Chains A and B, each alone.
Chain A
Amino acid sequence: MKNESVLILGAGVAGMEASLLLAAAGRKVHLVEKEPMIGGQLIKFEEVYPHMECSTCMVAPQQQAVLQNGNIEIHYLSALEKLEGSAGAFKASVKKKARYVSLANCIGCGACYDPCPVSLENEFEEGLAAARKAIAVPCAGALPNVPAIDPRHCLFLNGKDTQCRACKDACVFDAVQFEDKDETAVLDVGAVVVATGFGLLDVKQNPQYGYGEGKNVYTALEFERLFASNGPTGGNLTLRNGQTPKTVGIVHCVGRSELGYCSGVCCMYSVKFSRFLKHKLPDVRIREFHTDLCVPGKAYQKFFEKTRSEGVEFVRAETVKIASKESRLQVLYQNGGRGEEVFEADMVILSPAMIPAAGAKELAEVLGIKLDAKGFFAGRPGSLSPVETPVEGIFVIGCAEGPKDIPESVAQAAAAVGKILSLIPHEAN
């Protein structure tokens, strides 16, 4: 008999959608997420194109539904370590790191953060934010709203101060549990869905983009946090010296020619950035530097045209370089036949190529799947559907399969569910 449970790796918008649909169909879902929270990249964004809908408001109901669904078991801070068996009868070993805070007891009051003496950089805020503590939720509004203790930095857990119990003492709900241990769960499942999403190309590798400490050159994800009202500046668009930018350059296609593919969504989110900027700073001057504008489908060109009509400048630019000039920045570029031009800016935003999520290669090895030439998971050759991997019973959805936007990620999630429900029908049927 085929096992009806499903293992889903990654709780971004794609993994959550797949989990909810399978759970609605009565299937047991094991949702494995490497972070202590769910939601993926979308919870970092203030608004999403093309309707400029509030991103967190859009995904929060989905996150809540996942948290409250009795058919979905979430494994936080977890990773797939081993997979044996075949379609209909996989055996998955999932390594779970200890959270040191009880999900059942904690109500998310936050009383434990202040007493903690350790101060650390907050990765979620792309390094822009003030510090976080060794016991913390990754971001404001994280779901579930339950902190985790970072054992590398917690003084008690790393042995630097065997007396420190600051958070435990502060918690009146008895939620802090230092005795938590890492553990390995062995799960029987019939199918596996890879939904591990994407990362961004590291722009530090390429000095041409002038990215570096203290400079007003931001990556797309940094800018999303800078604009977010729950972000490090409360949504105040300021330069590192606290001043308001008067001119902004947005550079598309960062890394495209090196990597050999277009990421499909950067043009659209770059245009979104102009909307953000114009919305908060109506007088700001913006120039977007693009190669080919990619605004595919029935709704996206209008979004671009509307933004352009608000006075945002769009220029076709090749070999873009960013240089510093006194406290300002210079964007140097080739403008087609017109030769080299220079744009002076207070702030530059880089839109780097989307690349496979960190650890994709190791995961592929565990799954016994070959990645494609670009390092993404890919559909089986000879299949029209990109969600069916070469290994029967293993599916790939969302940006784990390649760069794409929300609707396409969600459609792939539902598609994998369609395949799973029709390949492994409920036994009573």
Chain B
Amino acid sequence: MSARIGVYVCECGPNIPDRIDIDRVLEEISPLKDVAVAKRYRLLCSNDGKKYLADEIRSEKLTHLVVAACSPRDHEKTFMKVCLEAGLNPFLFQMVNIREQCAWIFSEKSEATRMAVKYIRAGISRVTLHEPLLQKEIKATPDVLVVGGGIAGVETALSLAGQKRRVYLVERSDALGGTAARLGRLLPHQGTDMRLIQEKIEHAENNENISVFKGCEVEDIRGFLGNFEVSLKRSGGEPPPEMFRVGAVVVATGFALWDAFDPDVTGYGKIDDVVTSLEFEAMSASGKILKKNGSPPRSVALIHCVGRKEKGYCSKVCCLYSLKFAHQLKDSQPAPDVFEFYSDLCLPEKTDQDVFEEAKKRGVRFLRADDIRVEGRNGKIRIAYRDGSAEEAVEVEMAVLAPAMVPAPDSDRLARMLNIPLDETGFFKEAHSMLDPVSAPISGIYIAGCASGPKSIPESVVQAQAASGKILSVLMLGKTLEPEVKVSTIKEELCTGCQTCLNVCFYGAISFDAFRGVSVVNEAICRGCGSCVGSCPSGAISSKQFTYQQLFKEVMEALR
């Protein structure tokens, strides 16, 4: 059957006819090969217009449709829907923008008309080369793997688990809760709120729809959104628990504290009673904040920003938890002198400053300090620092270091296994740091909590709920997934196996088939961005709906 192309020029009210001689355009277009009809209409996007177009497609038995109107951003989807309703494959349609690209930019009517003809000819020449692409459907597993059982992982599991959705919660250590469970107190909620964390952990442990694997790590993972195969390994080499299939993965591996600090500068490991913040939390949790000799400290220095310079970022929560320590110390009887050595106080949450003001009222001394050195002197600790140009020093009995938060150990191994990137700080990289902070670049993989950078507990919990929200809106029970249609394909006979495209694809959609020596696109992952097409030195990759032939014909007609 030969092609029957229908070309419809929308007037868009006065917008187009004021500046383009539409009758002239139709005269030029009508005689072209395969053009069955060429007509004008007042407003195709109106309800009457859509109905008219659908009737035309049916009555004229059109095989292809070209609409010359506004920007495809405005109404491409509208007309694709019309095609679908009229029984024409929506990919056999091409939109030509003669409003923004002709009518609104040329001052001469003749020029705008001439260009409109060219663009429409270009559209016609490409549309006959279009393939009737089909929307695929992929079956998906609703179950989810959560890697890391800190507060972010636990909250994710609790928000997702349900009667028909199992969550596999994999924790490397032998306990759930991560750092949050090891704290003595919680800010911004003062007092006994540690109960909240414990309750969450218990709920996760007792939830019949959550399978908790403690002392385990992910051994291998393959697949894509809706269908990942996971195998675990147990530390200590015991037999791996099982293999299972999930539809999505949440990375909630948290953080570690930077520990590469110089003992000569910080005194850590060299001078008694110089401890890290987490060691202080452990003392606080046990209820005994004591020096090595068993007596309570009469003066304590809290040193912020340890490693901030080296790491090149601010860890966001250290100021707040140092304030928490100050309050806690001031709660004890007799209350010790407390000195906070800080660079800039970072108190970005709306209640943080109250905690600071309160600490000031309780006599905590705040010292803005550079070049801090912790020295041992006659059994005391001397904190030497610079305040502007002056050299100063304070003697204390205990010093608490607040080291920078850094990525959890082995994050790079997990990243490689999942084929997702880390950023220059070593934390997991977000799909879009502004608009999509809880997704990894690969569909089906999400990031929550400190795995993507330093955060407080409330923020980590929000991210856990956010990742759950994203998953629940994608992996709906009883629904199939509809992947991108305009994907890339690689011609095996042309592919030399150079693997350039593997590195170019931001979404990790391309893998290398070592057996056949060629690269392969996974159509379930590909988003059709086209980056790989341009990168392939052999021209082996083409993108559906943007083939070389289509583009060539289109450009040639536009230039002719």
Which residues on A are within 8 Å of B, measured CB to CB?
13, 17, 21-22, 24-26, 48, 50-51, 53, 58, 62, 64, 68, 104-105, 107, 109, 111, 172-173, 256, 260-262, 264-265, 292-302, 305, 336-337, 372, 374, 376, 379, 381-387, 402-404, 406-408, 410-422, 425-426, 428-429
Contact = CB atoms under 8 A, between A and B. Distances in A.
Interface stretch (B156-164, B516-524, B548-556): B156-164
Contacts of B353: 256, 260-262
8 contacts: A292-B344, A292-B345, A292-B347, A298-B423, A300-B314, A385-B462, A407-B433, A407-B437
Contacts of A104: 46-47
Given A294-B347, A411-B463, A422-B160, A301 B314 contact: yes
B476 interface: yes
The 8 tightest CB contacts between A and B, nearest first, are A418-B469, A414-B466, A264-B348, A415-B465, A417-B469, A418-B468, A298-B453, A296-B316
Contact of B473 (A22, A298, A419): A22
Contact of A384 (B347, B388, B457): B457
Nearest to A415: B465
Given A295-B314, A297-B314, A429-B477, A107 B350 contact: no
B22 to A, nearest CB: 16
Contacts of B13: 107, 109, 172-173
Contacts of A384: 151, 155, 196-197, 200, 457-458, 461
Contacts of A422: 159-160, 162, 468, 472
A294 B473 contact: no
Contacts of B12: 107, 109
Contacts of A294: 344, 346-348
B235 interface: no
Nearest to A145: B74
Contacts of A172: 13-14
B434 A410 contact: yes
A297 B461 contact: no
A68 B77 contact: yes
Interface in B334-391: 344-354, 357, 388
Interface of B: 12-15, 43, 45-47, 73, 77, 151, 155, 159-160, 162-164, 189, 193, 196-197, 200, 308, 312-314, 316, 344-354, 357, 388, 423, 425, 427, 430, 433-438, 452-455, 457-459, 461-470, 472-474, 476-478
B453 A297 contact: yes
A25 B348 contact: no
A403 B162 CA distance: 34
B188 to A, nearest CB: 10
Given A58-B435, A376-B350, A422-B468, A107 B476 contact: no
Contacts of B462: 385-387, 408, 411-412, 415
Nearest to A304: B314
Contact of A24 (B438, B466, B474): B474
Given A411-B463, A429-B164, A25 B476 contact: yes
